[in-house]
Amino acid sequence: MDRERDINLMLRVKDGDLAAFEALYARYSRPLTNFFHRLVWDRCFSEDLMQETFLRLWRGRKGYRPSGKFTTYMFQIARNHWLNERDKKNRRISPVSMDAGRDEESNGLKESLPARGNGPMTENLNRELGEKIAIAVEGLSEKLRLVFVLGQIQGMKYADIGDILGIPVGTVKSRMANAEKTIRGRLSSYLR
């Protein structure tokens, strides 16, 4: 049902219907922001990336063909945009060493960390944990990171990830397993 609705909305967008575009934006701006946020761990930058993705979606609307899920189409654009952006210099994203400390204030990570619990100790623990997760994910290679974020964080199926990244399902599965094991190893002290 959602799939058909999204495709119908995008077909309306293709005809220049901004209300339909707004409906898609209302529905997917948050997941897309979170997708980028798990890649760059910067709130402002991730929203920029999300909006630029939607702008590409709007600009390229006339070329849209409803050949698959809208989300696959959208995340393909997002992924391509991300790949184009990653090598650009002078952006806010900075390489993070697994060993080096992070400047929480400067990269926006602080505000994105879990802050559950009541006491300061719990809060500090959650923040530390969130930071460790971020560092662990950022430490993955580009290929593994994209698969991991799409699969483990966005909850996408292997087949959809394969469509988005243009790789076979088997490759998705193996990359996902590698990424998951790597992250699990890095976060072993937080796992029971």
Residue type for position 156: M
- Residue 168 in tokens: 């076979």
Contacting residue, 7, 58, 76, 85, with another protein by CB under 8 A: 58
**Helix pair 169-186, 158-165: axis angle to 10 deg:** 100
Least Å from the CB of residue 23 to another protein: 4
- Residue 34 in tokens: 């979170």
**Residue 62 within binding range of another protein, rule CB under 8 A:** no
DSSP secondary-structure letter at 113? S
Within 140-169, the residues that bind another protein by CB under 8 A are 151-153, 157-158
**CB-based contact 72:28 (threshold 8 Å):** no
Which residue stretch of 19-27, 72-80, 83-91, 94-102 sits at the interface with another protein (rule: CB under 8 A)? Answer: 19-27
Binding to another protein by CB under 8 A, coded x per residue (else -) over 108-127, reads ----xxxxx---------x-
* Helix count and strand count (H, E) for the chain: 10, 0
Least Å from the CB of residue 94 to another protein: 19
- Calculate the dihedral angle through the C-alpha atoms of 169, 171, 173, 179, rounding to the nearest 10 degrees: -140
DSSP secondary-structure letter at 151? I
Contact residues: another protein, CB under 8 A: 15-23, 25-26, 29-30, 33-34, 37-38, 43, 46-47, 50-52, 54-55, 58-59, 112-116, 126, 129-130, 133, 151-153, 157-158, 173-174, 176-177, 180, 183-184, 187-188, 190-192
